[in-house]
Structure 1
């Protein structure tokens, strides 16, 4: 393979936006971070919303400068479920709400009263019903929209499709991100129109779902830089960048959220899969990611924000060092407890949870961090055991990618709790997966070339399991993992 392609990935994260250029020489892919700027949901008129207009304008300015120097293509991905109400001119009708906004809390009970049970929603979408889902968010939004605002809505776009549209792509609906919505049929190839009607969500707000790895338009101001659907969902992109591994593997996309699962050819819709909390989301190449959405480093990110507000100097390196030195396996919490889902004084919530569950109450930031990291590792291990039971395949390793892999302690604790080696791959796997999908779309590489390119381009760190008190434990108050 000979190539001089320079694709660019725009990764819209819930804490930052990263613009990364790739350079592919025919064998190896190298990354260059072009820009990174913060993103944080903010409260506007009592709602938690994203500053998406500002992010789009900053991204457009960065890409314009990159295009002047040479850019072969660009693609956008983001976290799942969030969406934008768009008018006929392509502009947002209102501030895009965050999935952490509290307006959806009563929606599951409301839907159940209307006969839309969790089991019924699951069977029609293959997605775990959750208040954060696009389905639940839109029901809540429709209750709040003024008639004039509702009349202005021409379509609903998922966040990466909206950003791509503002950058020059035609308005559209990318398969991987749409599969997270709770509004598409299992496998994400079509909208569940009957469900949309039962939810009283206008079907005319949605168009045909498009496969990934296709050109969606051209970057504004340039007729020769395609905007590509290259995975659209951050986890789909990350799974597209997994290194090779022997035997059956479990993947872990580690970041603010932890997405842990296996790759399958088709959706698994058994009731046992639903009861265990798994969803069927789409991979970039069209297969399925059978996974659970688990709370990840969000809890510690919120702790760091709180300590900063309190004037306690905290760095991630220092916090991890102190956590290494703190006593381990002294207390556990359930990271997926709803109390940890919204912003606030997270260190106090961690301590309160430990008091409720029993155990040594952490005092210092390092002790708080150790409780959180121990609890994440135990949560991962329980989910790995569930996957083995549901699929009948015992994994030989956990392949971890994403920003959370920078935390050596979390990687080692995960290996210890799972009793399996953890192979930590690219920290920027989401961008890598997007860049690889762009190269596939441009015809620069074939779909079977990815693993070899990843293996040649990025180091993999191996963490062997040690004897640990974490092995075999389950988070408190979480019977489904016991």
Structure 2
């Protein structure tokens, strides 16, 4: 690569797609070059929803080959969604394909978990938002229904840790991804023996923890020969994509709100230590570990999943709509007619989202949307109002006021959602960068290599490298009125 130019290879996996990107630092700016993109298609087999993990590893190999041909790289880093995992046997082989968090195996699991440990104690220990999809509850479902499989497990590897193992042969669990499990002690940053023992899980299956930015190992000689590429370090970046995105938020303020916007909307702020209070427990706000030991205090909100799954479902019915089509239908429909609670459990599994929206509105005594455009309008406005709810709750817990929101990630290409977020929250919204997760992944690798000094310098470089679009709030009185309706409908007011 040219003198002065430092390049690293970023793999960023979302719930529906993945890509390989070369992140390059040159002349004080970062640039991103996509070298490989691929779909991520979970597979239903006899009622179980699996990730096609070997296919995804094949795509990683293709990305490495293409990136090497495009100029080369000094390091590889992988980030993915949270909570999901592979089970490894004592011979280092997967016991089965990893199961998707949207699988129904954890439906109704919470009462069974709370027989073993109260939600209050669980939150006080881990600081993690209690959701059925959490790793802790997935493992409990195995304990209750497939104990034989759990007994054959030597180690559990969360998704980015699994990919790192396939590349290096080294077994570790990176701290940010481990913090999504509901099994990590929020204060000590170690596996919580209290939670693990309460749930009756084998302590031995949990691997050694390593901080974000640590070298996970070297690309194996076998892969180097197979792919015809030089050996290089594999960096354990923030394995959880949310933490990579948070690392790339181009904020100048010490206290800021961000939304990492994609399949999920992760709405939160950055704190020096976890917030573990009765109020944060009441609001079920999560404390995840970010880069440099920071805590991201945030809400996990089902985001553009609503629109992605609507589009997928309609395609199966023979109706082809683009995302732009669905956004246009929403824009053209009358505002403020009905709302849903985006956190309602019926919206988690794949399927007929439009009908579920209609059923939700009927059950809550509201106008029932009649057209696809009205359904989409309901979804968009409900997401924006959920942002407002999250802003109020986080502000109450931290005792701080926030007048600016940084929206990052692929979801900000949906300008309608960005505009509604500003209006609903009554805040200026700064949108950008789209490639926040990839920037954060790349920046952490470059910090690990010594090319960037620290995360503060990385954020300055990202601000110089990207154009930020500003959205201002409008029609605030009508949005405030609608928020009061939303609170009554969703039971928070």
Return the TM-score normalized by structure 1: 0.95
Partner of 1:462: 470
Partner of 1:453: 461
Distance in 2 between residues matched to 1:188 and 1:323, nearest whole Å: 46
1:49 aligns with 2:57: no
Deviations 1:405-436 (A, max 9, x none): 11111111110010001111111211110000
Partner of 1:67: 68
Contact 2:408 2:431 survives alignment (8 Å): yes
Distance in 2 between residues matched to 1:42 and 1:138, nearest whole Å: 20
Partner of 2:39: 38
Distance in 1 between residues matched to 2:38 and 2:17, nearest whole Å: 6
Distance in 1 between residues matched to 2:75 and 2:17, nearest whole Å: 21
Contact 2:156 2:207 survives alignment (8 Å): no
1:291 aligns with 2:288: no
Distance in 1 between residues matched to 2:438 and 2:253, nearest whole Å: 24
Partner of 1:471: 480
The count of aligned residue pairs is 478
Contact 1:259 1:291 survives alignment (8 Å): yes
Contact 1:139 1:199 survives alignment (8 Å): yes
Distance in 2 between residues matched to 1:71 and 1:394, nearest whole Å: 42
Contact 2:338 2:367 survives alignment (8 Å): yes
Residues 86 and 476 of structure 1, relative CA distance in 2, 3 Å threshold: farther
Deviations 1:87-146 (A, max 9, x none): 2333211121111111112321112223x1111111111112221111110011123336
Partner of 2:227: none
Distance in 2 between residues matched to 1:95 and 1:180, nearest whole Å: 20
Deviates more, 1:97-106 or 1:350-359: 350-359
Distance in 1 between residues matched to 2:19 and 2:66, nearest whole Å: 15
CA drift of 1:169 comes to 5.2
Partner of 2:85: 83
Contact 2:36 2:66 survives alignment (8 Å): no
Distance in 2 between residues matched to 1:333 and 1:433, nearest whole Å: 33
Residues 166 and 188 of structure 1, relative CA distance in 2, 3 Å threshold: farther
Partner of 1:316: 323
- Could you tell me which runs of 5 or more consecutive residues in structure 2 were left unpaired when the two chains were aligned: 225-229
1:440 aligns with 2:447: yes
Distance in 2 between residues matched to 1:479 and 1:308, nearest whole Å: 34
CA drift of 1:188 comes to 6.6
- Could you tell me which runs of 5 or more consecutive residues in structure 1 were left unpaired when the two chains were aligned: none
Partner of 2:435: 428
Residues 280 and 247 of structure 1, relative CA distance in 2, 3 Å threshold: closer
Partner of 1:125: 126
1:380 aligns with 2:387: yes
Distance in 1 between residues matched to 2:341 and 2:268, nearest whole Å: 19
Distance in 1 between residues matched to 2:424 and 2:205, nearest whole Å: 45
Partner residue of 1:229 out of 204, 223, 236? 236
Return the TM-score normalized by structure 2: 0.93
1:3 aligns with 2:4: yes
Contact 2:171 2:208 survives alignment (8 Å): no
Distance in 1 between residues matched to 2:199 and 2:368, nearest whole Å: 44
Distance in 2 between residues matched to 1:325 and 1:351, nearest whole Å: 19
